[in-house]
């Protein structure tokens, strides 16, 4: 797990509430949903130009786990980073996992990792679901 960065203890994550972490100069919003799943997306809300998504409300729309921006209320998929209201906006998605009571995030966004692993791979070519 050399590409992963320890963020916090698993017990410090409250289901439905996000936390922000600074990893390689990037703010990342990390969420544990009520079903126990972990998700990590970029914390920067492009509509308000502020790092606030970790403070957004989590939920689901049509079965898709989302976070709603606390500023203008756009919804972002926690699986793909896609904005549900504006398909042209996609946030970075990060692999996140829990191991021995610690939450880790991969420092490289998943789409960047796919492009490196498979040169010429189209964005979204592989699943973006958090690990």
Kindly report the CATH number assigned to the domain that includes residue 72.
2.102.10.10
Q: Is residue 130 part of a domain?
A: no
pLDDT at residue 112 in the model: 58
Total count of domains within the chain: 1
| Position 129 in a domain | no
Average pLDDT taken over every residue of the chain: 87
End-to-end CA distance of the chain: give it in Å, rounded.
13
Does residue 125 form part of some domain? no
Asked if residue 64 is part of any domain, the answer here is yes
Tell whether 36 is covered by a domain.
yes
Q: Is residue 122 part of a domain?
A: no
Q: Are 15 and 33 spatial neighbours (Cβ–Cβ below 8 Å)?
A: yes
Q: What percent of the chain has pLDDT over 70?
A: 82
The predicted-structure confidence for 42-83, as pLDDT tens digits, reads as follows 999 999 999 999 999 999 999 999 999 999 999 999 999 999
Does residue 106 fall inside a structural domain? yes
Q: Residue 44: which domain range?
A: 4-117
Report CA-CA distances (Å) from 101 to 12, 13, 85: 10, 11, 36
Kindly state the DSSP code that residue 114 receives in the 8-state scheme.
H
pLDDT tier at 129, thresholds 50, 70, 90: very low
């Amino acid at each position: 797990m050399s590409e992963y960065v320890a963020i916090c203890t698993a017990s410090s994550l409250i289901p439905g509430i996000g936390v922000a972490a600074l990893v390689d100069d990037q703010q990342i919003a990390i969420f544990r949903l009520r079903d126990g799943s972990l998700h990590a997306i970029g914390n920067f809300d492009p509509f308000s130009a502020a790092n606030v998504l970790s403070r957004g409300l989590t939920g689901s729309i049509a079965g898709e786990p989302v976070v709603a921006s606390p500023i203008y209320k756009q919804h972002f998929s926690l699986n793909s980073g896609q904005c549900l209201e504006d398909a042209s906006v996609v946030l970075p998605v990060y692999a996140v996992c829990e191991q021995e009571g610690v939450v880790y995030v991969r420092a490289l966004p998943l789409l960047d990792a796919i492009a490196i692993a498979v040169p010429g791979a189209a964005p979204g070519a592989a699943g973006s679901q958090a690990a």
